[in-house]
Amino acid sequence: MRGRVVSRLVDVQDATKKFGQVTALGPISLTIGEGEFVSIVGPSGCGKSTLLEIIGGLQHTSSGSVQVRGEELTGPRDETAIVFQDSATLPWRTVLDNVAFALEARKVPRDARRRIAEERLATVGLQDFADHYPAQLSGGMRQRVAIARALTTDPDLILADEPFGALDEQTRLLMSYELLRVVERLACGVLFITHSIQEAVLLSDRVIVMSARPGRILDDIAIPLPHPRDPDVLSQPAATEAANRIWGLIRREAQLAMGAAS
């Protein structure tokens, strides 16, 4: 059951990322506990995606360390699953083959692949679309395919980079409820990047607020709402209080970022 943090899954110590001479990110230190849902919110360009890719093993840090399950990270891990902003579905494959793609990369035999993919598709409610092509699906449905794909490998860590960023407001809301329902039944750690404070508060155990470039952590806010959660939880006072606190920090940073742009 979610909410009981047992031990550290991800441990980032003083990580920085430089591009040439410019420091884009850091120094950042954060932890993600096993089974913990952590959101990151911050202004555009602050390096959230870079941080996620570093924890996902897709980029090296310029200094500092990243440990997952106590071991130094040197590349992508089998037990980590990443959900990207654009669903990264392959348009020439059916939905089912897309979901099975991760298992295919693992060389899981065909029958087992199919079975697991069908199960995960059912989990996100798309079992009737197994033989469709991604082009025939809406943006929200494609993201559900991406989530189903992430779940096929039974990850202990899911990294989601603004998965609902390309969707319209109403679809976003529905998708976040959908994600809540799926995630409540899992025990994995989740790192979730979002622009939406509402999503962050609804889904997370902790919300990390990052500053504008070079991104550093401004605050690490615990969300003391009970599990299991449902959409009504947002009306509780603790939720509103957390949201306001986050918004106060973000507003300043967003203004700074806008000022820097002009």
**Which position among 20, 70, 75, 237 is part of the footprint of other proteins (CB under 8 A)?**
75
Q: Which is nearer to other proteins, 52 or 250 (CB)?
A: 52
Backbone angles phi, psi at 218, to 5 degrees: -85, -40
Under 8 Å between Cβ of 42 and 252: no
**Which position among 37, 38, 47, 101 is part of the footprint of other proteins (CB under 8 A)?**
101
Under 8 Å between Cβ of 139 and 167: yes
Site string for other proteins, 26-65 (x = CB under 8 A): ---------------------------x--xxxxxx-xxx
The pairing of strands 157-161 and 80-83 is: parallel
Cβ 111 to other proteins, closest distance in Å?
Answer: 19
**Is 86 near other proteins (CB under 8 A)?**
yes
**Which position among 138, 240, 244, 255 is part of the footprint of other proteins (CB under 8 A)?**
138
Distances (CA, A) of 91 to 45, 95, 96, 134, 135: 29, 9, 12, 6, 7
Q: Which residues contact 114 (CB under 8 A, 6 or more apart)?
A: 96, 100
Cβ 60 to other proteins, closest distance in Å?
Answer: 5
**Which position among 33, 35, 134, 189 is part of the footprint of other proteins (CB under 8 A)?**
134
Under 8 Å between Cβ of 40 and 208: yes
How many residues bind to other proteins according to rule CB under 8 A? 38
Instruction: Give the other-Cβ count within 10 Å of 63's Cβ.
Output: 13
Site for other proteins, rule CB under 8 A:
53, 56-61, 63-66, 72-76, 78, 80-82, 84, 86, 88, 90-92, 101-102, 104-106, 133-139
